[in-house]
Amino acid sequence: MTLKAIRSRRTESPPRDAFDRRLLAPMILGAVLNPINSTLVSVSLVPIGAAFGAPPSQTAWLVSGLYLATSIGQPVVGRLIDLYGPRRLFLAGTLLVGIAGLVGLLAPNLGVLVVARVLLGFGTCAGYPAAMYLIRSEAERTGRDSPAAVLTAIAISTQTVAVIGPSLGGLLIAVGGWRATLAVNIPLAAAGLIIGRLRLPKTPLPERAASERPAARLDLPGMALFAAMLVAVLLFLMSPGSAHWYLPVLAVAAGAGFALRESRAVEPFIDLGVFGGNLPLLLTYARALLAYVVSYSFLYGYTEWLEEGRGLSASQAGLAQLPLFLTGILVAAATGRRAEIRGKLIVGAVGQVTACAMLLLLHPGSPVWLLVAVALVCGIPQGLNGLALQNAVYYQADPARIGSSAGLLRTFSYLGAMISSAAGGAFFAHRADTGGLHRLAWFLLAVAGVFLAITVADRSLRRIRGSDQRVTPHQRNGADR
């Protein structure tokens, strides 16, 4: 194809009444960068620890560093996308992913490797909010809601990455050592930069933004207080105990300062007044936190028990989890085109309760068929909850703040991951034995029960029945009546 033809294709106008399919490639690539780096590291922790002589308590920062950066960065970058459009932030974030891959490739010690993972967390923050922004902007351009297949494609792509991540990590380690799991981000970033420049639309700056310095429209003090609050919360969840009593105090103080700042800011980072009047969206965030406490506990805590409590090898434990991810993909693909959200969440909640209860049946001699059954049952909420929560934010959030709202959904998800990690550390104090698994199961049953209760009680979900309906401001204000 000639250069003239390529330029001609780039300048083609998308159909006026249909979603621009050229946006799918950058949307999906951006959305999967974070999940793939979350799963790749699961198989590289042991070789990294051996290379640097670091115990698991230190290599755990490779996981926590990514989640910490992402939890803070998602709503911040989402807000920037709301103000300046997705193209600039997508390209900047993708470039940072490439830099993080290079730093990880050359890291001389564990500390530098943790820095690379933190950079990676911030770099991957733009993908998901940018995708949600583009879906919303396409709906406004065409005058029609974007097809459910687009939201489904993003959900399935992230779940597919969860399936192939550990296997891909093992292959990369076999070919190029553990550094290859960081270096893979270099070609991924290069692909993202090329696709982003070719496919993402240029968004003109608003008149005010063009005449002001960028910082003038950003609530930097609010962002700093929000980050301080999250850092204190997440650090305490990573190492709970009376010795770290000051962390909750700092979190409360930063939270109070954040609330005061946002109530007085002309253009707040997070408009607490809007969120305060949008109970359905707040309930969606609460459900995300609860759902991912359970989901990450199965991903990490249950997998640890499969190895130490059941006696499986690492590869066998990975195979035992494969039905979970495959079921999740199949369920998401089968239900993705249905706009019904409440039904998906209720079935997902029941599935979580059932899966957690099944953990109480497990013991060191449990047959393989029972392990497969647990994975299959857990795969049902895996396929339903993530997609339903994503769709709920799309309909419930203020369109002008869809980027930051989508980023906050990821923040609450990663808060769930941190609570899951803390619970695993508490119940598996010395090793992942069956007694610890059963104690973890009772905790997860309580979490799943709360998830089910607030979903059944949330009458606002009944108002989202089709792809052409949204929760209007009037409906939001009346959701709790």
User: Is pLDDT above 50 for 413?
Assistant: yes
User: Is pLDDT above 50 for 210?
Assistant: no
Q: Where are the alpha helices (DSSP H) in 297-401?
A: 302-308, 314-335, 342-359, 368-396
Residue 166 pLDDT: 67
User: Is pLDDT above 60 for 171?
Assistant: yes
Where residue 57 falls among pLDDT bands split at 50, 70, 90? low
User: Is pLDDT above 60 for 7?
Assistant: no
- pLDDT tens digits for range 439-450: 999 999 999 999
Which two structure tokens, joined as six digits, stand for 163?
A: 């399936």
Q: Judge contact between 224 and 76, C-beta under 8 A.
A: no
- What is the spatial distance between Cα 152 and Cα 31, in angstroms, rounded to a whole number? 12
Q: Which residue has the higher pLDDT, 113 or 312?
A: 113
Query: What is the number of H-type helices and E-type strands within the chain?
Result: 23, 0
Residue 475 pLDDT: 43
Q: Judge contact between 333 and 379, C-beta under 8 A.
A: no
Which stretch of 344-358, 367-381, 425-439 has the lowest confidence by average pLDDT? 425-439
* Cα distance from N-terminal residue to C-terminal residue, the chain: 60
Mean pLDDT for the chain overall? 80
Q: Which residue type, as a one-letter code, is found at position 295?
A: S
Q: What is the DSSP letter of 203?
A: P
Q: Judge contact between 402 and 77, C-beta under 8 A.
A: no
Q: Which residue has the higher pLDDT, 279 or 189?
A: 189
Which stretch of 10-24, 218-232, 241-255, 422-436 has the lowest confidence by average pLDDT? 10-24
Q: Judge contact between 405 and 476, C-beta under 8 A.
A: no
Helix, strand or coil for residue 83?
helix
- What is the spatial distance between Cα 27 and Cα 223, in angstroms, rounded to a whole number? 26
- What is the spatial distance between Cα 29 and Cα 135, in angstroms, rounded to a whole number? 15
Q: What is the DSSP letter of 254?
A: H
In sequence order, the 6+-apart residues with CB closer than 8 A to the CB of 21 are none
User: Is pLDDT above 60 for 8?
Assistant: no
- pLDDT tens digits for range 18-36: 677 788 888 888 888 888 8
In sequence order, the 6+-apart residues with CB closer than 8 A to the CB of 211 are none
| Rounded mean pLDDT, 233-249 | 82
| Rounded mean pLDDT, 39-66 | 77
Distances (CA, A) of 344 to 98, 235, 385, 464: 37, 33, 7, 12
Name the helix (H) or strand (E) containing 471: none
Which stretch of 84-88, 142-146, 194-198 has the lowest confidence by average pLDDT? 142-146
Residue 13 pLDDT: 56
Q: Where are the alpha helices (DSSP H) in 177-240?
A: 180-183, 185-199, 207-211, 220-238
Burial of 80 from C-beta contacts in 10 A (0-12 / 13-18 / 19+): buried
Nearest to 387 by CA among 398, 395, 376: 395
- What is the spatial distance between Cα 392 and Cα 399, in angstroms, rounded to a whole number? 13
| Rounded mean pLDDT, 368-389 | 89
Domains of the chain: 23-203 (1.20.1250.20), 219-268 (no CATH), 274-481 (1.20.1250.20)
User: Is pLDDT above 90 for 350?
Assistant: yes
Q: Which residue has the higher pLDDT, 454 or 70?
A: 454
Q: Which residue type, as a one-letter code, is found at position 406?
A: A
Which stretch of 116-130, 197-211, 309-323 has the lowest confidence by average pLDDT? 197-211
73: left (phi over 0), alpha (psi -120 to 50) or beta: alpha
- Long-range contacts: 52-56, Cβ < 8 Å, 24+? 52/109, 52/110, 52/113, 54/110
Residue 275 pLDDT: 65
Residue 273 pLDDT: 64
Which stretch of 40-49, 269-278, 426-435 has the lowest confidence by average pLDDT? 269-278
User: What's the whole-model pTM score?
Assistant: 0.72
